[in-house]
Amino acid sequence: MSRIAASAKIHAMAVVEDGAVIGENVKIGPFCYVGPNVTLGDNVELLAHSVVSGRTTLGSGCRIFPMAVIGGDPQSVHHGGEETTLTVGDNCTFREGVTVNTGTADFGSQTIVGNNNLFLANSHIAHDCRVGNNVIMSNNVMLAGHVTIEDRVILGGGCAVHQFTRVGRQAFVGGLSAVSYDVIPYGMLNGNPGLLSGLNVVGMTRAGIDRATIHTVRRAYKAIFEGDNSIRDNAAAIRDEYAGCEQVVQILDFIAAESDRALSSPTRGQKG
């Protein structure tokens, strides 16, 4: 049986399947579809022709625009119809045509999206992705399966992120870039193939990181990517020197972590 709050406003031409949980002050417009295993938190708004299906939970204040499909089955040949989930935090906006898939049974069965995210028209989040908080995905951005996007990342229009790739905190990826390798926190990546082109100084400044700290991170970046040894060896060699800088430590931890992908650099994937 559905649990529908008395304050919810559901258009007569919307379909809400039996079993759905609808929170306070939810608005569901005409021609929307809400599946039987869906939970909509308080103050969620579904505009006309939007779909929320699967075993999906939307946190409070989310907005779903027309033709978006949230909680569709994973687009994977390995998916056998198992019951998997999508969990979305609070205050996320999914613009027109956005698609977000549930997880797959072989990889934990979960797709997870954090809070305060903006997903512009026709962007896509595939199965088993992990998206943090305050992320912006511009129009037509494509995340393949198992991608991790950390907090405050901005992905430019039309960029594509390879499966199992990580994009670190507050990184910036330029439009139409091909992200084939992990992108360090605060990094800036552009092109096809995507090459690391420095630090996201604008984003760091907007986040309130002071100039002295930015200069410290720049010095560490140079030591990591211009040192005589491998990226990981260079990073390990400077850890003690930069232990007092939170942002550098985040970069070093990211580099040291296990990953299925190599690290983006200023030269990796470059021809010639």
Q: Is there a single domain that holds both residue 15 and residue 138?
A: yes
Q: How confident is the model at residue 271 (pLDDT cuts 50, 70, 90)?
A: low
The percent of residues above 90 in pLDDT, for the chain, comes to: 96
Q: Tokens at residue 245, please?
A: 């800088």
User: Is residue 174 in some structural domain?
Assistant: no
Question: What is the predicted pLDDT for the residue at 252?
Answer: 98
Q: Which residues are catalytic?
A: 127-128, 145
Residue 188 lies in a domain: no
Same domain, 134 and 210: no
Query: Which domain, by its residues, includes 85?
Result: 3-146
Q: What CATH number is attached to the domain comprising 82? A: 2.160.10.10
d(CA 119, CA 234): 36
Strands 85-88 and 69-72: unpaired
Residues 159-200 pLDDT 10s = 999 999 999 999 999 999 999 999 999 999 999 999 999 999
On whether both 126 and 210 belong to a single domain, the answer is no
Instruction: State whether 89 and 210 are in the same domain.
Output: no
What pLDDT is stored for residue 2 in this prediction? 82
Residue 271 lies in a domain: no
Would 28 be classed as within a structural domain? yes
Same-domain check for residues 10 and 135: yes
Asked if residue 116 and residue 215 are part of one domain, the reply reads no
pLDDT (average), residues 7-32? 98
pLDDT tens by residue, 212-253: 999 999 999 999 999 999 999 999 999 999 999 999 999 999
Give how many domains the chain has, as a whole number.
Answer: 2
The confidence score (pLDDT) of residue 150 equals 98
**Gap between the Cα atoms of 78 and 68, Å rounded:** 24
In a domain, 210, yes or no: yes
Q: Provide the whole-model pTM.
A: 0.97
Output the six-digit token pair for 147.
Answer: 């991608």
